[in-house]
Amino acid sequence: MFEWTLIRFLHVLAMGFFVGGQVMLAAVVVPALRGQDRELMRGAAKRFGVASLVALAVIIATGVAMASEFERWSAPELQAKLGLLALVFVLAGLHVVTPYTRLISITVLLTSIAIVWFGVELAH
């Protein structure tokens, strides 16, 4: 029982970092640094990007473990989450190539929030 509580906790913690970090960047960091040296924004985004990769690895590992343990692979909510996660990876790849595209950043954020929605639906 404790191990699944820990796995669920790590999943939610990593998701909170990933999505919360995006919200923080969009709502606080970008507006605060707008009009300043682009290197400041690039540095913040790079640090967040590296930490986000770690968070995504934790999200995927714990998600696979939970879906397998609780036999949820065929759940429509999980299928929706996986589809949206694939979209986030594609958008993140595009964002690396075109880092100053606001539309991609906003789409990644909104897609990530939708993933959280489906996660809540899946858990309940």
Whole-angstrom distance, CA of residue 78 vs CA of residue 88: 15
Of residues 1 and 110, more confidently modeled: 110
Label residue 91 exposed, middle or buried (CB < 10 Å: 0-12, 13-18, 19+): buried
Q: What element of type H or E holds 25? A: none
Of residues 124 and 50, more confidently modeled: 50
Q: pLDDT (tens digit, 9 = 90+) per residue, 74-88? A: 999 999 999 999 999
Q: pLDDT (tens digit, 9 = 90+) per residue, 31-69? A: 888 888 888 888 888 888 889 999 999 999 999 999 999
Encoded amino acid at 107, one letter: T
- Judge contact between 13 and 67, C-beta under 8 A: no
Average pLDDT over the chain, rounded to an integer: 91
